[in-house]
Structure 1
Amino acid sequence: MKRLHTQERIDRYTAGGWWTGDTIDQLLRAQVSARPGALAIADPPNKADLLPGEIKRLTWSELDAEIDRVAGVLRGRGIGPGDVVAVQLPNSVELAVTFLAVVRVGAVVTPFPVQYREYELNQLCALAGVVIFVTSTTAAARVPENIPALTWPELDADLDAASASPVGEPGSVQPGASGVPSGAPGVPYEALDVPSGASGVPYEAHPADPVTICWTSGTEATPKGVPRCHYDWLAVASTCAAAPGLTEDDVILNPFPMVNMAGIGGVFLPWLKTGSVLVQHHPFDLPTYLGQIAAEGVTYTLAPPALLSMLLQQEAILARTDLTTLTRIGSGSAPLPPPMVKGWQDRYGIAIINFFGSNEGVALLSDPVHMPDPEDRARFFPRPDAPGTTWPGTLGATRTKLVDPLGTEIVEAGIPGELCLSGPTVFSGYLPGTAAADPFDRDGYLMTGDVFEIAGDQGQYLRYVDRAKDLVIRGGMNIAPAELEALVSGHPAVAEVAVVGYADEVLGERVCVVLVPKPGQTVDLASVVDHLRGKGIASYKLPERLEIVEALPRNPLGKILKRELKESLATGD
């Protein structure tokens, strides 16, 4: 079985104590053993609007039993080590159970946002070699025709039969069960070289075995697959649990979809690591969200910066909300205004933790213990390898460098450069066939495409400058302009098109289409949206503004000057 990291890398990080022999399923079993009767996870109160079935509140023992039963269903469908299982469910107990059941049988989870529709799912399932798709009854029609669908709550009908043959202890999974191919037709799961194994041979997970394939929307039209293993994820979880100081006494409210670094690394795995309580929330609804904080006694949650700024200005809303248990909030995906971070701490005693991360790289967290000044936490991130510094979790093993456009390393403060990094949280490389270029430099550092500069009186911080990429981040969801541009260009009335983001107080950014119509043709926003809906694209990617121009601004080489477009949108010119 091919693992995601070389033995040299494994030896280096295990010798340093940054990687351990733990797996995700072992973390779960440890919590079940330590606190079987304690509450583990709770559904959102509006679950009926998201997924049929009763609202669930499971103890650790009940959660483990449910995972065992779903794992039994998966085994009965022939799912074993290395098989790729797509999951598209809202934040719920069912999502957590499905994720952990897939891990328990040694398969690989590829989680999709609930907004993804036929356009995205057909494309990405083929790239990953998905063999079965777990989803809701209402969304089953989106599943590609060549892939079997397993739906909740229909899956419940299989659970009683599955409970007669639970998966049991590690090593009891029988790989290579018949009935399901090793990949989608024509796309076997050879990209990671993970065979199903010989029938009857016990399977036991190795920490370097692939466990997820997440998807990152870069500047290219096609998303890139990001395989992760237990080593990677648990190193991320170490930092994301240590920075807010999570313990078994915490109650975590999760409003972020469990599809990428924020939801999985920032919340889900720190919950498993600490044995705290996970309260699910989806989709974001402010009254429900605030009500859950009060009703569940939430101590830690995540929220986008625009929402935190808005709430701070709406004292009447907060006056009606019981925030007495809430002690810290994680935020990120956009720069944090220093007055907002200071305001939450001064008025409510709530520490805002500044997040910066990516599916591929590291989670940089500005935490209140190592950075007590709230304005520092808003403006700066840790520079993990700065001399004389100590940071939470696995940040101490992270190595960084800033390089200018010519590849020269920057060592002085105040000079912008691309952030390059290596460490135990950095992935091993994109899923073959999903990325055009190697993301690592000659020294093995991940080239992030994000621009930072060295800051702080002792060079102990990094200051975020700008995104080198053209991503639009709408409510924490990444949108690739190139993908939309390719689709909008197929509109019969469009001659040229560019897609950019524009500022929004609540979501951070929204999508604007700037286009040149064909001679004699007219086009409006409604027709562009209808054209995109006809492609089956996710609703959060749909543009909410249209600008008609005579020509797109270009440089002498013909490249569209998107910065000029953004400036024009901001000024209204």
Structure 2
Amino acid sequence: MDIGALLPRHARYRPDHPALVVGGRRLSYRDLNAEVNRLANALIAAGVGKGDKIATVLPNCLELMLAYWAAAKTGIVIVPMSTLMQDHGLETLLRDSDSVAVIAHASFAEALGHIRGELSAIPSDRFVLVGCPGAAPPGFRSYAEFTAAASEVSPPDPGLTGADVYNIMYTSGTTGAPKGIVHTHFIRAMYCTLFASAWRMTPESVCLHAGAIVFNGAMLDLMPWMFLGCTYILHESFNAERFIHDIERERVTHVVMVPAQIIAVLDSPAFAPAALGSLEMIHNVGAPLPLKYKHRLNEALPGRFYELYGLTEGFMTVLDKHDAIRKVGSVGAPPAFMEMRILRADGTQCGASEVGEICGRGPMLMSGYYKRPDLTERAIVDGWLHTGDAGYVDEDGYLFLVDRIKDMIITGGVNVYPRDIEDVVIQHPAVSEVAVFGVPDDKWGETPVAAVVARAGETIEPEALKLWTNGHVDAKFQRLADVVVMNAFPRNVAGKILKREMREAYGRERSD
């Protein structure tokens, strides 16, 4: 279960097959293997070896992909970080992860310069910059300089097993300080095999990915790609028109997207079902896709929609394309070798249609939170991951996601789940995005408030939208107390909406 053995295998047995398309370059498996070897050997020459941590602060680019697979070959532990991090956040994660080297984009030279005095574990010759237009700034090495003398032959065999750590993925901090999630080679091998099967991928598949590959959602197609030796097209950033164009030109078969990207594609003037006809999978991840967009997608491109609910900590459910209409609104069922329970607060198991906490276990379960056994013990109880999410299963065992338990609103003693109200508000033709949260109320304890973003060219009058929503919700206790119109929602580095910041801002505005 050494995922570092995958690339050399493809380089030997299908060396000329297209492997990676990124930044204007097309690399075969022979080419990709040589580039990965060069970086792996450069890291070893710099004194970085098995078990050491290297951090990356890179956008989607060739060098980030090389770092992933150089780590896999050498037993080095990779710690990918978002390019949206600020100085303090970078320092915190670099120190917490015990990183001994960092490969960053040249635009981070100033930020790293501010904090490098606090990073005593990283020697001065291990600050490497990608994208330097010329010589690297003083105190840094350019990527070209760092790898210039390195060989393209395979690095020494580090003797890896499935138990060796491959990466530390930091949570995005929607509910608190980021935590480092540890994945072994075995866990990533499970991503390779289980998701390749779930997505019906083959060695002839073509994946297109336009989301940031520093987040765990990218591993849903990145690992199966390398397992099968198919083709991966990586966009530096997302643009709906370019995305549609490349699907048609490259005959793309598999895409993994977040809801905002799917909505942008559907609303693009370039959208045409015929242009996307090669697709065999349109996969939604990160948050549930609102029902109205699921209906549009299934009508325009039937038999292609998949959805995944899951946590980086290691439990997932998959809504298969054949269930996308039959079980619309569900986020699917656990894949093979995974188990799921819906538990009450007292730890007993819920019946069908009864809402409780989603818990799961299986072969993708994290080793733990890095250096935080206390948090690991709270999250994994008797081998079961407690997700903190509320949901229920129907009589067939399909999961329906209700909400984050922490986001639940208790009004007049009744549990109100924001998503139920959000599903109503998003139906309004002027609304592009909605987030519902609870605020304190003297009479009811809490009451729901909706924050909304208007669609392009639309204007929203808060009181009118409140009245419209309250006339469409299922129950009186779901009625909104207020509507706030925003230009954009606050988000974390993974792009997830930060309701806690909205709630705090709303409270400050009302108290002033």
Measured against the shorter chain, the TM-score band is: 0.7 to 0.9
Match of 2:369, SS state, is coil
CA contact (8 A) 2:241 2:270 kept: no
Using the alignment, how far apart are the partners of 2:103 and 2:450 within structure 1? 33
Aligned to 2:312: 359
Q: 1:278 to 1:401 in 2, by over 3 A?
A: same
Alignment of structure 1 residues 145-544 onto 2, 5 Å: 145=116, 146=119, 147=122, 148-153=126-131, 154-163=142-151, 166-168=153-155, 172-173=156-157, 203-218=158-173, 220-264=175-219, 266-309=220-263, 311-312=265-266, 316-319=269-272, 322-349=275-302, 351-368=304-321, 372-384=322-334, 395-410=335-350, 412-433=351-372, 436=375, 438-440=377-379, 442-456=381-395, 459-470=396-407, 502-504=451-453
Q: 1:404 to 1:26 in 2, by over 3 A?
A: same
CA contact (8 A) 2:55 2:99 kept: yes
Structure 1 unmatched runs, 5+: 1-21, 48-54, 174-202, 385-394, 474-480, 482-499, 508-528, 553-573
Q: 1:544 to 1:400 in 2, by over 3 A?
A: closer
CA contact (8 A) 2:331 2:400 kept: yes
Post-superposition shift, 1:294? Answer: 2.3
- The superposition leaves residues 42-61 of structure 1 with CA deviations (integer Å, 9 ceiling, x where unpaired) of 11xxx4xxxxxxx3210000
Using the alignment, how far apart are the partners of 1:348 and 1:87 within structure 2? 37
Using the alignment, how far apart are the partners of 1:102 and 1:110 within structure 2? 10
Match of 2:377, SS state, is coil
CA contact (8 A) 1:249 1:276 kept: yes
CA contact (8 A) 1:90 1:114 kept: yes
Aligned to 2:43: 74
Match of 2:102, SS state, is strand
Post-superposition shift, 1:127? Answer: 0.7
CA contact (8 A) 1:338 1:375 kept: no
Using the alignment, how far apart are the partners of 1:235 and 1:286 within structure 2? 31
Larger CA deviation: 226-235 vs 98-107: 98-107
CA contact (8 A) 1:224 1:434 kept: no
Aligned to 1:120: 89
- Structure 2-normalised TM-score? 0.74
- The superposition leaves residues 534-555 of structure 1 with CA deviations (integer Å, 9 ceiling, x where unpaired) of xxx9696897995443449xxx
Using the alignment, how far apart are the partners of 1:407 and 1:127 within structure 2? 33
- The superposition leaves residues 471-513 of structure 1 with CA deviations (integer Å, 9 ceiling, x where unpaired) of 999xxxxxxx9xxxxxxxxxxxxxxxxxx99455789xxxxxx
Alignment of structure 1 residues 57-136 onto 2, 5 Å: 57-136=26-105
Q: Which residue of 498, 509, 512 corresponds with 1:549?
A: 509
Please tell me the residue identity of whatever aligns with 1:407.
G
CA contact (8 A) 2:217 2:286 kept: no
Using the alignment, how far apart are the partners of 2:174 and 2:272 within structure 1? 42
Structure 2 unmatched runs, 5+: 132-141, 409-417, 420-436, 438-448, 457-488
Aligned to 2:19: 40
Q: 1:60 to 1:308 in 2, by over 3 A?
A: same
- The superposition leaves residues 357-386 of structure 1 with CA deviations (integer Å, 9 ceiling, x where unpaired) of 111022321112xxx2422454223443xx
Q: 1:364 to 1:121 in 2, by over 3 A?
A: same
Q: 1:406 to 1:225 in 2, by over 3 A?
A: same
Match of 2:389, SS state, is strand
Using the alignment, how far apart are the partners of 1:375 and 1:213 within structure 2? 36
Higher relative contact order (CA 8 A, sep 6+): 1
Percent sequence identity over aligned pairs: 25
CA contact (8 A) 2:184 2:367 kept: no
CA contact (8 A) 2:240 2:261 kept: no
Match of 1:27, SS state, is helix
Aligned to 1:16: none
Aligned to 1:177: none
CA contact (8 A) 2:10 2:29 kept: yes
Is 1:23 the equivalent of 2:11? no
Using the alignment, how far apart are the partners of 1:440 and 1:320 within structure 2? 43
CA contact (8 A) 1:342 1:374 kept: no
CA contact (8 A) 1:401 1:409 kept: yes
Match of 1:380, SS state, is coil
CA contact (8 A) 2:279 2:304 kept: no
Match of 1:346, SS state, is helix
Q: 1:436 to 1:347 in 2, by over 3 A?
A: closer
Please tell me the residue identity of whatever aligns with 1:303.
M
Post-superposition shift, 1:242? Answer: 1.5
Using the alignment, how far apart are the partners of 2:493 and 2:392 within structure 1? 35
Aligned to 1:183: none
- The superposition leaves residues 453-474 of structure 1 with CA deviations (integer Å, 9 ceiling, x where unpaired) of 1114xx321111111245999x
CA contact (8 A) 1:306 1:505 kept: no
Paired residues, number: 421
Match of 2:403, SS state, is strand
- Structure 1-normalised TM-score? 0.67
Using the alignment, how far apart are the partners of 2:450 and 2:95 within structure 1? 29
In proportion to residue count, which structure has more helix? 2
Computed over aligned residues only, the root mean square deviation of the Cα atoms, in angstroms, reads 3.3
CA contact (8 A) 2:358 2:387 kept: yes
CA contact (8 A) 1:454 1:460 kept: yes
Q: 1:261 to 1:396 in 2, by over 3 A?
A: same
